[in-house]
Amino acid sequence: MECFDLGIIGGGPAGYTTALYAAKQGKSVVLFEKDEIGGTCLNRGCIPTKIYLHASHVYQEIKDASKIGIFSDNTNFDFEKISEHKNNTIQKIRKSLELMIKQAGIIVVKEEAKILTKDTIEANNIKYNCNEIVICTGSKPKEIKGLEFDHDFIINSDDILNRNQLPKEILIVGSGAIGIEWARILSSFDVEVILTEIAPKLIPLADWEVSKRIERQFKMKKIKYYTETSIKTIENKKVTLSNDEIIEPDCILVAAGREVVKNKGVERLEGIKIIGDAAGEIQLAHYATSQAKELVLNIPYNKELIPSVIYGTPEIAWIGKCFKSKEEETGYNVVVYPISALGKAHCDGCIDGFIKIISKDKKIVGAHIISPEASALIQQITIAMQNNITVDKLKEVCFAHPTYSEGIFEGIMQL
């Protein structure tokens, strides 16, 4: 039987990051992946959606370019070609990841793995002895009762990526990160989008002011949405919503969260670690890699300081204290700096957003951003919060001009 210091089940961000860190420390590592290296993130999640977002953004930019004096006739797109580009890009990233894994001396077994004992893994009838085992088996789209996936009319976030044609009209159920991203991608590709959310506001986990602004932006972009609404009945592809509206979409994308993969034979025995989506906590790629970093390198992370990002135009990002209503803000210093006050936003032609910063006792305790580059801006706040940098200390920092970062500076100056 082959012996390894570490056996990892699952080759997504949690698994391959754990493997790479451990191999760098000189450990012998075997990584089991039943599908493709890169997991949900690379093959069915973060990366393919951002490729589509980019393509849809470029299409919209070209369509709108006459406003700034640039003309192009017959702006159009070929979704099949865009899908091909998506697949090629994923393949390119996967190849370099596989090369990195190979160069690190990690043994990859492309089979479904089972745990036999706390130090034995079996795959394809071959047993592997592993001093330590880590489960990184990820998550899968959650089904809702009455909306079971048939992968044709009722689809999930995996199914939609396998389509080479766009629907004319789609109903998206759920306004979390996945629902909002797909609503933005598809409406930018001229698909008629109807979004339903069971909670009283879009992006239920976001700050009240973020939800309110996104609702306004959806109205302006003519993305139809209904809050406090569910599906009452579906008959012959005719959907009746709980508000009695009847629609006939080409398909329904259920984006109602993800659940842990329950793998028979990958039960957690004593001493076996479990990280990433499979742990059923925060289901984000950067949380998975932070867990890997802590597990192997002993570098801690702060679970309260995991940034959230929803991509699209403009990006949405937040961290820390989040208010469900204006009333909850009592006792905090809150500044909402409009990006329309930034020269950079005017240069880029995207002025609808804000940088909201919350402080208490001169420390930043949260931030909520709707702006181009929000995914990068939130990182500045994260570093400040992680290191307890006071508001006064941040005021001493020089921020480059013209940038969106100036919005953080101007906000800080008001605290």
Ligand X SMILES: Cc1cc2nc3c(=O)[nH]c(=O)nc-3n(C[C@H](O)[C@H](O)[C@H](O)COP(=O)(O)OP(=O)(O)OC[C@H]3O[C@@H](n4cnc5c(N)ncnc54)[C@H](O)[C@@H]3O)c2cc1C
Of 277, 251, 370, 250, residue with least CA distance to 316: 370
Stretch that binds ligand X, among 34-42, 214-222, 295-303, 341-349 (CB under 6 A): 34-42
Size of the site for ligand X (CB under 6 A): 37
Handedness of CA 268, 274, 280, 283 (dihedral sign): negative
One symbol per residue from 7 to 26: x for binding ligand X (CB under 6 A), - otherwise; what is it? --xxxxxxx-----------
* Length of the chain (residues): 415
One symbol per residue from 107 to 136: x for binding ligand X (CB under 6 A), - otherwise; what is it? -----xx----------------------x
Choose between 5 and 112: whose C-beta lies nearer to ligand X. Answer: 112
| Residue 61 CB-density burial (10 A; 0-12 exposed, 13-18 middle, 19+ buried) | middle
Q: Could you tell me if 342 and 406 are in contact, meaning their C-beta atoms sit under 8 angstroms apart? A: yes
Of 39, 20, 28, residue with least CA distance to 297: 20
Number of CB atoms found within 10 A of residue 342's CB: 23
Stretch that binds ligand X, among 81-89, 258-266, 327-335, 383-391 (CB under 6 A): 258-266
With CB under 6 A as the contact rule, the residue among 56, 137, 175, 290 that binds ligand X is: 137
Smallest distance from the beta carbon of 182 to ligand X, in angstroms? 8
What SS3 state is found at 171? strand
Stretch that binds ligand X, among 36-44, 68-76, 93-101, 380-388 (CB under 6 A): 36-44
Strand pairing of 315-320 and 139-141? Answer: unpaired
Answer yes or no whether residue 274 interacts with ligand X by CB under 6 A: no
One symbol per residue from 43 to 62: x for binding ligand X (CB under 6 A), - otherwise; what is it? -xxx--x-------------
With CB under 6 A as the contact rule, the residue among 155, 178, 202, 415 that binds ligand X is: 178
Stretch that binds ligand X, among 61-69, 195-203, 223-231, 281-289 (CB under 6 A): 281-289
Q: Could you tell me if 78 and 2 are in contact, meaning their C-beta atoms sit under 8 angstroms apart? A: no
According to DSSP, the residues that pair with 196 across neighbouring strands are: 173, 226
Answer yes or no whether residue 35 interacts with ligand X by CB under 6 A: yes
Helices 79-103 and 46-64, axial angle in degrees (round to 10): 140
Choose between 64 and 294: whose C-beta lies nearer to ligand X. Answer: 294
Distance CA 32, CA 29 (A): 10
Answer yes or no whether residue 167 interacts with ligand X by CB under 6 A: no
Smallest distance from the beta carbon of 356 to ligand X, in angstroms? 21
Distance CA 152, CA 256 (A): 17
Q: Which residues of this protein are in contact with ligand X, per CB under 6 A?
A: 9-15, 32-35, 39-41, 44-46, 49, 112-113, 136-139, 157, 178, 261, 263, 266, 276-278, 283-286, 288
